[in-house]
Structure 1
Amino acid sequence: MRPIAAAALSVAFACGAAHAAPAGPDAKMIATVDAEQAKTLKFLETMVNQNSGSRNLEGVRKVRDIVVPEFTALGFAARWIPMEQTGRAGHLVLTHKGKKGAKKLLLIGHLDTVFEPDSPFQTYVLQGDKATGPGVGDDKGGIAVILAAVRAMQAAGTLKNANIEVFLTGDEEEAGSPPEVARADLVAAAKAAHVALDFEGLSREDGKDMGSIARRSSQSWTLTIEAKSGHSSGVWGERAGDGAIYAAAKIVNALREELPEPYLTLNVGLIAGGAEAEVAEDNAHVSAQGKTNIIAGKVVARGDLRTLSPEQNRNAMRKMEGIVARTFPGVTSARIEFSEGYPPMAPTDGNKALLAKLNQVNATMGLPAMQPLDPMKRGAGDISFVAEYVDGLVGLGPHSTGDHAPGETVDVPSIWTQAKRAALLMTRLATEKSAR
């Protein structure tokens, strides 16, 4: 992959100092979002106070039951896709059929949170312009933005012709297994869509709202090395060799020295070595046993690989496999295995064009243009699974801080700004004719 300089990712969008006040449907949508703030916050509070940790299948289904009536009242048809076969509750799909031949918009969010029923953090609290609670930003705040936006569209008369599919996964925080089954329906929805809008959190840099047109992959790997063992007095010898731990050290060091390039990172998160070593079934623990006077016969290590494009990801895996395949004294077997993980979302021209359209909305609203966020500052997410098939934007949900930890806090005014942006953007995209 040709390195993408930061300057190449930066897109200049000029918002004129003077702008006409929003009128017609735009003004109606903006006014509706403001008029329904209390209603939207009550909906958010109800969702947040229902625990929906990824492993709390019944809790995820209860959030589904909170969400469905709000959308069916607007003319959306609800469909539930059970996912118990992957160890998770399922996905909620809400479909609004509009004008034939118009672009189909895929809105992506999720019902689950990282906070399971045993977490001490369970309750929604509103204090001024801040609200705290499990998932208040990630991603129940995103669902609240979607609902506020489509309500505003209905009030302005722009929803009736819009083709919209809202896809809310029930396992974004801890995806079901196997991932190809857990994400098959989302991929199918993307292949039938023309635009994907992801309603996870809005990113800010130095107080400025940023547009996200790319996010890196997240892919786990497991390294297993087996070597000749024996009494430590024979280490480094021609017969015994160096053992598995020395080989692992050389491989890890080679990965660190030979892989770095723009937008690629590789982390070694777990490693264990000794006479015996193994990875636990949950893949979150490694263990080893042995003695100081025994040459290490086995090493296991786990880590993650993050890249910005499918090409960069493939090239990195080939390099890693090549390093592991080298000859090391005493090693009898060395292999590296890669998980499916989250694919990358590359900063394509189509994604940049969508950000330009969002900045036209910003101009209408009298807001500054949003510059592209450095993809090094955005983790993987569900939109990554569909980025190969459809143009998309990330971060249309509200701005929040402390995500994934007790005290997660949403900036309440950002809910209104994001809902207005989404309503105006979707209204404009919905009027565009489909090329297919």
Structure 2
Amino acid sequence: MRLILAVLLLFALPAAVHAEPSRAEQTMMRTVEAEHDRHIALLERLVNQNSGTLNLAGIRAVGDMVRAELEPLGFAVRWVDMGETGRAGHLVATHPGRGRNILLIGHLDTVFEPDSPFQRFERDGARATGPGVGDDKGGVVVIVAALRAMQAAGTLRGSNVTVVLTGDEEKIGSPSSLARRHLIAAGQAAAFALEFENLALDDGAEFGTVARRSSTNWTLTTTGRTGHSSGIFNDTLGYGAIYEMARILDGFRRDLPEPNLTYNVGVIAGGTPAAIDTEGVNATASGKTNIVASTAIARGDLRTLTAEQDTRIRAGMQTIVDAHLPRTGAELVFGEGGYPPMAPSEGNIALLERLNIVNRDLGLPEMAAYDPARRGAADSGFVAADVDTLGGLGVAGGNAHADGEWVDLDSLVRQSQRAAVLISRLSLGRE
């Protein structure tokens, strides 16, 4: 009986509606295809200009290249200097129109600083490698290609579009409230937000990103009484800093497991003494086997899917920290700012369905929602609390953040076509 009911319900569902692309949308598709070589050349120029997050001049140079693409399309482009946060700045471009405001999000920086050996764009057929070729210079080119197609089709004229390309997505400036105030304001003013990080892939299938987890750093410091190791565990010396550290970290692992939650430990040191540098990257320690450790330090990150989960897990971590072993102490400090989660809201899911309507109309594969536990944090998290947001609209590729980062250049065509039609429909109202 249950099987029969399930079959009846299946047939009762409305069939997927397929509509022919409008004349303007057909023009967009042809324009993207005709300009493919142009956009590959743009991608090559962007990639060959180093823009590691700390290369401030390089980031501004990439911003100038993008400015030269957007201003001829009628965008008012400005550079927002972020010297007060220790970063280069952001490019903000606006195109007023009668339509609903669509926010397009990407970033100019990469993880590859000037001292990296991985510096140049290389092409082998439909495959290209290079620093930031997918994350996120390929996404920036998708934005440019989509907007050019919209201009050729006449839909850009009435569309209301804001582009925010940050210059420090890979290593956000501090304080983050200052570093992201322009992006947050743009999100609050938008009807929809589209983020152009890498397209999610799994075994050749393409997915939509309706959720991303947060990313927040934490530092745990434990202390203990030091002395001769023969006295460890007694009432005078207690357990020492390293045992206290081990208790807490294992408590996180044992007591707080749940879906979409991780707390990685990236660096740890313990001894008498132990210390970590101001960047939280290099830890040092010294000690002997017959000395009870006085100090231990660990740094890691916390990733959660919702604001509620984040608040609850932080409290749970603190409860574990506070249950000290005898004669020890511990302090848990969360880093300022970080990336908030992009929670999987009903609005985000509905936005993916709008993209899938575009996919059906253009004869492109539909996309399921990607597992958020398999995606990193992104700038979309700063706007998702205020506006329906869809991510992962950049190019298809792999090996991001590593030598050999690559993209499928053919995906630049279909992603730009999808984006051009989706932006036009969202802004001008066609469902």
**The two structures share one fold, judged by TM-score above 0.5:** yes
3-state DSSP of counterpart to 1:174: coil
C-alpha distance in 1 between matches for 2:317 and 2:131: 38
The offset of 1:288, in angstroms, is 1.4
3-state DSSP of counterpart to 1:73: helix
C-alpha distance in 2 between matches for 1:56 and 1:163: 32
C-alpha distance in 2 between matches for 1:417 and 1:345: 25
The offset of 1:279, in angstroms, is 1.6
Aligned-pair identity in percent equals 53
C-alpha distance in 2 between matches for 1:88 and 1:240: 46
3-state DSSP of counterpart to 2:73: coil
Aligned CA-pair RMSD: 1.6
1:113 aligned to 2:127? no
Determine which of 120, 145, 148 is the counterpart of 1:148: 145
C-alpha distance in 2 between matches for 1:97 and 1:277: 56
1:91 aligned to 2:87? no
Question: Where do 1:415-426 residues align within 5 Å?
Answer: 415-426=412-423
C-alpha distance in 2 between matches for 1:183 and 1:124: 30
The question of whether the paired residues in 2 share the 8 Å contact of 1:15 and 1:368 is answered with no
The offset of 1:123, in angstroms, is 1.5
1:29 aligned to 2:25? no
1:297 — aligned with what?
A: 294
Cα gap change, 1:248 to 1:165, in 2 (>3 Å): same
Tell me which amino acid in the other structure corresponds to 1:203: A
Residues 12-39 of structure 1, C-alpha deviations (whole Å, 9 max, x = no match): x9985x9554331111111111111121
C-alpha distance in 2 between matches for 1:246 and 1:70: 58
2:8 — aligned with what?
A: none
Determine which of 307, 311, 319 is the counterpart of 2:308: 311
1:387 aligned to 2:360? no
C-alpha distance in 1 between matches for 2:22 and 2:101: 25
Residues 43-100 of structure 1, C-alpha deviations (whole Å, 9 max, x = no match): 111111111111111111111111101110000000110011211110000110011x
TM-score scaled by length of structure 2:
0.94
The farther-off stretch of 279-288 and 194-203 is 279-288
The farther-off stretch of 413-422 and 226-235 is 226-235
Tell me which amino acid in the other structure corresponds to 2:46: M
C-alpha distance in 2 between matches for 1:232 and 1:377: 44
1:82 — aligned with what?
A: 81
Determine which of 413, 417, 420 is the counterpart of 2:410: 413
- Segments of 4+ in structure 1 off by > 6 A? none
Tell me which amino acid in the other structure corresponds to 1:427: S
3-state DSSP of counterpart to 2:220: strand
C-alpha distance in 2 between matches for 1:72 and 1:278: 50
Question: Where do 1:350-429 residues align within 5 Å?
Answer: 350-429=347-426
The question of whether the paired residues in 2 share the 8 Å contact of 1:108 and 1:166 is answered with yes
Gap runs ≥5 in structure 2: 1-12
1:207 aligned to 2:204? yes
Tell me which amino acid in the other structure corresponds to 2:47: V
Gap runs ≥5 in structure 1: 1-12
Determine which of 177, 189, 203 is the counterpart of 1:192: 189
Determine which of 167, 178, 186 is the counterpart of 2:164: 167
3-state DSSP of counterpart to 2:401: coil
Residues 280-309 of structure 1, C-alpha deviations (whole Å, 9 max, x = no match): 111012221222222111111111111100
Tell me which amino acid in the other structure corresponds to 1:289: S
The question of whether the paired residues in 1 share the 8 Å contact of 2:226 and 2:291 is answered with yes
1:334 — aligned with what?
A: 330
3-state DSSP of counterpart to 2:274: strand
The offset of 1:431, in angstroms, is 1.5
TM-score scaled by length of structure 1:
0.93
Tell me which amino acid in the other structure corresponds to 1:167: V
